[in-house]
Structure 1
Amino acid sequence: MKPREILYEKLRHLVVEDPREARRLFHQLLDSGGPALDQFLGSISSPSDGRLRQLVANAPRNHRDRERLIPHLIAWQESETDEFTQRAISHTLDALDVRSNAQTALALEVARLTTSIGREMAQRERLNRELEIAQEVQAHLFPQYLPPVAALDYCGQCRPAREIGGDYYDFLELPEGRLGIAIGDVSGKGIGAALLMASLEASLRAQAAVRHELVDLIKQVSRLVCEASSTNRYATLFYAEYDPRSLQLSYVNAGHNPPIVLRHSATACEVMRLETGGPVVGLLRHSYQQGGFLLRTGDQIVLFTDGISESMNVHDEEWGENRLIECVKNCRGLSAHETIARILAATDAFSAGASQHDDMTLVVLRVLV
């Protein structure tokens, strides 16, 4: 163990078994001063160290000792729960004539401010660590594996505006080589949105495993999200199932930005939207309609959240869906991964340094030959 740890363990036992020896040993440390004293005093902050804090509070022999211990005594006084230790601390601090000693009064104020700043910094560090953990957990909620699908190139990406976000996308491996495709946008931001996003994912995956009718599936997902969230929380959701044998894409659009289908010919590019469905999930019980779309070789399908289309520049101008469509047209022949990279690069170039105000999520599919 380090010398500081050895001293801590020795005093921790002596203060119970031989208080006089503990007091003598601490006086030696107090007389030596320096970093060793501050390190020791800074280490006895847990509730189990009450006896050690009481030893320190009773240790001052003179005004100099009291002034040396002021910052630590003040820090402990505001959080101490042991009655006897609290009394010992108060008695030592009361012995300082702060009314007549301006220097001591200044030292007390500095100590109070230092303690307050220290608590604030410690709290921020804890919150930052908790956000880092939440970010790591949420990152693993997004697909870690892309089920292989015959003649289909696809991928997705989410870029949160904050440490954690409320956008959602997922790929589900279904029987007979089919693929489930989901994208959603939860209302609000931060921890609340992230929790609802996790609930949405869990509900959709659970229902997709047992239900085959998409309308019934989305209706049940909406009910589950409604029961798991407050009345003002909801989510837009687009869910589709793709059958590579027939090239059929069956879907329900629950209030989400209609995905774009681009179909190229020798002379033109036809743009179609997948709009059929119903309202957002999680607010009220609604009925939904199922849409169907027969894909062809070479079709590009782009699913996106409004963080993409509503990306803004420094002049508060939106990028817009028209620019998105033109960008995708220029991605003909590129892989799904390259297409996503090209779209994000285009939005970044448009925003030209403006801060990202919303989560940005994309899913791109290409029907191969």
Structure 2
Amino acid sequence: MSNPIKKLFDLYTSDLSYYEIERLIKQEAAEVYEFFKKDIPKPEGNESKAKKSIIFIRSLFNAFIMKLSPARRIFYLIALLIFLIGFSQNGHPYVLLAFIILNALLAFELADKLTVKNELEIARKIQLELIPKHPIKINKYEIASIYKPAKEVGGDYFDVVDCSENRSFIVLGDISGKGMAAALYMVKVQAILHLLLSNFKGLKELLISIKKYFSKNLRKEYFLTLIAACINKDGSIDIVRAGHPLPLYYKNKAKKLEEINVFGIGIGLNDKGIFERTLSETTIQPEKDDIVIFYTDGITETMNYRKEIFGEKNLQKIIVDNSQNSANEIKNIIINSVDSFRKGTNQSDDLTLVVLKAVE
């Protein structure tokens, strides 16, 4: 490699690491394939491997071409044609012209992507500002929480709302799917929730009302799981649940961890009234050093490169083994364990975690 070319190469690859190369191959290539896969027809079983490969490559190319705008599609095909002519006739000017056209198209596509990325970053900042900055203590409990979207914006919802009569509400939600659509639905959930809490009558009534107002314009492919807890002045906690992962309750005196089994199905399903008829509510009275954990399935369904999931048992073991720690320490240990379990694999789902520890 000549000296000028080497300097140019070094300039543009100085910040390139092994991790970036691995990420490009493992993650970004997989994401690109997933993006185009839905437009690729499945080959028939009676075709040969060679024919299946040809059909796959042709279908992938067609899927790529059809994602371009009509004008860019034409320029791309022209550039491809010019390149083939130049390559077959050893015509270097033709090859150079094709190269210039393709790079111009790449520049346009990159500009579009960066514009969208900038808008998503703004959306991310707005969404993170909606996550409550709660105190480290609520009534008789230490509280620690974390919210980590898998993409720029996420479909998990977490809120802490202080109300009259020394009551505080903790709400966790998870809309099916990820990204912008899920994030927009979550903003709607927050707006409905805050409106309903201004005239609070009970947790069951709260969830039934959320279902009533939220389900009206919900698309069929989406549904919402939700859990709401009311922390009362005496330290008791009322809990209702709509299809969400069961909260965990560690009783320090008995050295025992159990799930808080409160029944309720998800919001947005065609349940024909089953939701209202079967929704239940339970109340617990934690004692000093007891722990209550609320979480979304992004914690337990975290996956590593072997396609193994973190699972409920790992989460439960961490809580039991670290029950002597503060709420914030338990939160950090759980998140560090989840990150370590992934072993470099990208976060596949939004995750939210709330840890309550009774200190009185």
TM-score (norm 2): 0.70
- Large movers: runs of 4+ above 4 Å: 102-108
Larger Rg: 1
Residue 274 (str. 1) matches residue 253 (str. 2):
no
Q: Shift of residue 105 of structure 1?
A: 5.6
- In structure 2, the residue matched to 1:166 is 155
Q: Does the 8 Å CA contact 2:139/2:235 hold for their aligned counterparts?
A: no
- In structure 2, the residue matched to 1:126 is 115
- In structure 2, the residue matched to 1:250 is 238
- In structure 2, the residue matched to 1:45 is none
- In structure 2, the residue matched to 1:264 is 252
Q: 1:39-89, CA deviations, whole angstroms, 9 ceiling, x for partnerless residues?
A: xxxxxxxxxxxxxxxxxxxxxxxxxxxxxxxxxxxxxxx79xxxxxxxxxx
Aligned length, in residue pairs: 268
Q: Does the 8 Å CA contact 1:277/1:291 hold for their aligned counterparts?
A: no
1:176-187 to 2 correspondence within 5 Å?
Answer: 176-187=165-176
Note the aligned Cα RMSD (angstroms): 2.1
Tell me the SS of whatever aligns to 1:332.
coil
Q: 1:185 to 1:214 in 2, by over 3 A?
A: same
Q: Shift of residue 138 of structure 1?
A: 0.9
Residue 192 (str. 1) matches residue 181 (str. 2):
yes
Match 2:133 to one of 136, 139, 144: 144
Match 1:297 to one of 288, 307, 317: 288
- In structure 2, the residue matched to 1:329 is 320
1:25-44 to 2 correspondence within 5 Å?
Answer: none
Residue 213 (str. 1) matches residue 213 (str. 2):
no
In 1, the alpha carbon distance for the partners of 2:141 and 2:267 equals 29
Tell me the SS of whatever aligns to 2:309.
coil
Q: 1:1-46, CA deviations, whole angstroms, 9 ceiling, x for partnerless residues?
A: xxxxxxxxxxxxxxxxxxxxxxxxxxxxxxxxxxxxxxxxxxxxxx
Q: 1:222-275, CA deviations, whole angstroms, 9 ceiling, x for partnerless residues?
A: 12221132122111100010113x22211111000000000012xx41222223
1:77-92 to 2 correspondence within 5 Å?
Answer: none
Q: Does the 8 Å CA contact 1:259/1:303 hold for their aligned counterparts?
A: yes
Task: Tell me the amino acid that sits aligned with residue 322 of structure 2.
Answer: C
In 2, the alpha carbon distance for the partners of 1:342 and 1:363 equals 13
Residue segments in structure 2 that go unaligned for 5+ positions in a row: 1-70, 73-90
Q: 1:264 to 1:103 in 2, by over 3 A?
A: closer
1:2-81 to 2 correspondence within 5 Å?
Answer: none
Indicate the larger mover: 350-359 or 129-138.
350-359
Task: Tell me the amino acid that sits aligned with residue 132 of structure 2.
Answer: P
Task: Tell me the amino acid that sits aligned with residue 356 of structure 2.
Answer: L
Task: Tell me the amino acid that sits aligned with residue 164 of structure 1.
Answer: V
Q: Shift of residue 304 of structure 1?
A: 0.9
In 2, the alpha carbon distance for the partners of 1:203 and 1:277 equals 22
Task: Tell me the amino acid that sits aligned with residue 152 of structure 1.
Answer: Y
Q: Shift of residue 103 of structure 1?
A: 7.6
Q: Shift of residue 125 of structure 1?
A: 0.9
Residue 340 (str. 1) matches residue 331 (str. 2):
yes
Q: 1:269 to 1:139 in 2, by over 3 A?
A: same
Q: Does the 8 Å CA contact 2:257/2:320 hold for their aligned counterparts?
A: no
Task: Tell me the amino acid that sits aligned with residue 262 of structure 1.
Answer: Y
Task: Tell me the amino acid that sits aligned with residue 108 of structure 2.
Answer: R
Q: Shift of residue 343 of structure 1?
A: 0.4
Residue segments in structure 1 that go unaligned for 5+ positions in a row: 1-77, 80-101
In 2, the alpha carbon distance for the partners of 1:149 and 1:280 equals 28
